[in-house]
Amino acid sequence: MSSPSHVNRRALLTGLGCSMATPLLVPRAAFTQEAWPARAVRYVNGFPAGGATDTLSRILCQKMSELSGQSFVVENRGGAGGVLGADAVAKSPPDGYTVGLGGIAQNVLAIGSYAKLPYDPRGDFTFIGGMWQLPNILSARRDLFSSDLKELLAAFKKEPRKYTYASAGFGTTLHLSGEMMNSMAGVEVTHIPYKGAGPALTDLLGGRVDLLFDNLPGSLPSVRAGQIRPVAVTARARIAELPDVPAFSELLPGFEITSWTAMIGPANMKPDLVAQMNALLGRALADPTLKARYADLGATPWPTSPAEIKAFRDSEEARLLPVMKAAGIKPE
């Protein structure tokens, strides 16, 4: 007969043998991405400080900082219609600590604007979620002979290439808005591209250009202050912020383009990490204070899932590249 201590030792060894032979059942959470963010996040905006994208990005990053307890630091890297900033994101580690401003300019229009890009607009990014949508606005310098759209188009047709319009850069929605106007109205207004909306607005205020296509938030304070005169908006219809300003579609049926943005990261980010990032982004965009500040600037928060924003990008490419070609925008 075995002694009690011998039985206990045998039972213990048997138990250990079973535990070594049987895989450990570790909770799924142990294999998921660690909590994000655990440190400061770099947010790259491919346009200079002072423009609409900068203002809206800083409002969003401030809210995400408040909600997460970690800093979201905006880095302005302007140039090439947002391409330089997007390239910096594409070439960063896919760890969630470098994100940036993507969207219609960097991930759609750049395809039809540049013969060679430093990144693949389709495949070199992780699309985390939508951020905002907003219309563009055409404004005139205060001392231009008119701010009536019909009168302006008639003058542009009478004197081709006499007048100029500024934009935040080649290949942006603002550039496309101007070329759509030229194409659909049969006029020739000369494009003057800038490295961002801030410098372009400065030159409009200084009378060095005649007109400016800008995202609505960038020009709205100057319009309200009477420093520049609104001409028309690129939305499908008139907007609540400027009910007396016509939409281009009233004179040019079918004219419609809005600026939309997405938060992007480098390709190959882990799905669990992307889900956490999308959740925080959604909470920030749903915040009543942010929504009120965006509304005052004419922007609409636009939360989406990662799959939805990727599918939307694909549909915008199919819709807008033919429009760019018809408007005479060629890759350079």
Whether residue 181 is found in the same domain as residue 234: yes
pLDDT for residue 172: 84
- CATH of residue 294: 3.40.190.150
For residues 163 and 271, give the distance between their C-alpha atoms in angstroms, rounded to a whole number. Answer: 50
Whether residue 273 is found in the same domain as residue 214: no
Nearby residues of 210 by Cβ (< 8 Å), 6 or more positions away: 140, 141, 144, 163, 164, 165, 189
Whether residue 214 is found in the same domain as residue 316: no
For residues 271 and 285, give the distance between their C-alpha atoms in angstroms, rounded to a whole number. Answer: 21
- CATH of residue 141: 3.40.190.10
Q: Kindly state whether residue 232 falls inside one of the protein's structural domains.
A: yes
pLDDT for residue 29: 41
Q: What is the pLDDT along the chain (332 residues), one digit of tens a residue?
A: 444 444 444 443 344 343 434 444 444 444 445 799 999 999 999 988 887 889 999 999 999 999 999 999 999 998 888 899 999 999 999 999 999 999 999 999 999 989 999 999 999 999 999 999 999 999 999 999 999 999 999 999 999 999 999 998 887 889 999 999 999 999 999 999 998 888 999 999 999 999 999 989 889 999 999 999 999 999 999 998 899 999 999 999 999 998 999 999 999 999 999 999 999 999 999 999 999 999 988 899 999 999 999 999 999 999 999 988 887 888 87
pLDDT for residue 307: 98
Contact criterion met (CB below 8 Å) for 62 and 25: no
Whether residue 57 is found in the same domain as residue 152: no
Whether residue 176 is found in the same domain as residue 315: no
Contact criterion met (CB below 8 Å) for 306 and 281: no
Whether residue 128 is found in the same domain as residue 274: yes
Integer angstrom CA distances of residue 75 from 23, 37, 58: 47, 18, 10
pLDDT for residue 18: 39
Q: Kindly state whether residue 125 falls inside one of the protein's structural domains.
A: yes
Q: Kindly state whether residue 36 falls inside one of the protein's structural domains.
A: no
Contact criterion met (CB below 8 Å) for 72 and 27: no
Half-sphere exposure of 33 (CA within 13 A, CB side): 16
Whether residue 115 is found in the same domain as residue 153: no
Q: Kindly state whether residue 171 falls inside one of the protein's structural domains.
A: yes
Indicate the residue among 229, 250, 271 that finishes a domain.
Answer: 250
Length of the chain: 332
Whether residue 152 is found in the same domain as residue 215: yes
DSSP one-letter string for 181-223: HHHHHT---EEEE-SSHHHHHHHHHTTSSSEEEEEHHHHHHHH
Q: Kindly state whether residue 160 falls inside one of the protein's structural domains.
A: yes
Indicate the residue among 250, 272, 290 that finishes a domain.
Answer: 250
pLDDT for residue 98: 98
- Residue 248: DSSP 8-state: G
Whether residue 119 is found in the same domain as residue 226: no
Which range of residues forms the domain containing residue 191?
A: 135-250
Q: What is the tally of structural domains in the chain? A: 2
Whether residue 148 is found in the same domain as residue 108: no
Whether residue 276 is found in the same domain as residue 174: no
pTM score of the predicted model = 0.78
Which parts of the chain fold into alpha helices (H)? 4-21, 52-68, 83-90, 104, 110-113, 149-158, 173-185, 197-205, 216-224, 271-286, 288-297, 306-326
Whether residue 264 is found in the same domain as residue 129: yes
Cross-strand pairs, 195: none
Q: Kindly state whether residue 108 falls inside one of the protein's structural domains.
A: yes
